[in-house]
Amino acid sequence: MEEIGIKSKLRVQKHGEVFTPKKIVNKMLDIKGVKEACESLQTTFLEPAAGEGAFLVAILERKLNIVVKHYNDDLARFENYSLLALTSLYGIELLEDNAQTCVLNMFQAYYDIYQEQVQYHNGKLKKKVLDSAKEIISSNIRQGNFLTKKAIDGNPLVFSEWSSVNMKKTTKRIKIQRTEYTLDEIYESVEKESGKAINKVLNKNIEPYKQLDLFDLLEEGHIDSEDENPKEMRYTPVNIIDVYKAEMEEADG
């Protein structure tokens, strides 16, 4: 019988941390109903204790296999639909090393299949596609406590909803609208204006889940920490391969 892996007895005692073997993961994902959801590009999954991403990576691989099978007539279409599949996967992990490993594992899984399709189509890896994959993964995988709904810094956990705005059967280049929600807002089914960015509401000057680069402080025009009237911003709709730019505009009103 295959054992469930552990890193240390102390981590098991302190955090209840165990790792599910891949064989068991796949058996669970083959359950009727779950299997079909894994094969739907836009069906969302939230793993509240993501660990190193065993379930999320396995689901991503299944979704990407569907992209290869049905949306792979050319490389551009694969790129668009593979990123769409990536937007549907979310995770929360309490321990920093696990959260970092989860992000890396998801990116590696995406990179490997993307590289295979680049070779199949005799194309080239596009940096902006990989950068957009990183932006989606880093926004969807959060370090924090699912039970308290708080990030490691004490701020509310924040996730991005990625809504396609131009989807048809013949769509080749997907346009996406990003909207931010706290985990509490998601549970309360709060309806928001499309593109709403709550980072400016939670903290006037620093996004709660991104570290401020020290070089930013030297830039002319940097928002002073004493500014009591920061401009509220919203995300603009962009092509899905350009989400890495995180383009924003001043919100109306």
* pTM, two decimal places: 0.80
At 170-185, the pLDDT tens digits run 788 999 999 999 999 9
pLDDT of residue 252: 72
Helix residue ranges, H only, the chain: 9-15, 22-29, 34-38, 54-70, 75-86, 96-120, 127-140, 183-187, 199-202
Give the separation between CA 91 and CA 56, rounded to whole angstroms: 8
Residue 235 φ/ψ, nearest 5 degrees:
-75, 140
pLDDT (mean) for 219-243? 71
Residue 79 clears pLDDT 90, i.e. is over it: yes
**Between residues 76 and 217, which one has the greater pLDDT?**
76
Give the separation between CA 205 and CA 201, rounded to whole angstroms: 9
Give the separation between CA 174 and CA 82, rounded to whole angstroms: 11
pLDDT (mean) for 222-238? 68
pLDDT of residue 223: 43
pLDDT of residue 57: 95
At 186-213, the pLDDT tens digits run 999 999 999 998 865 444 444 444 433 3
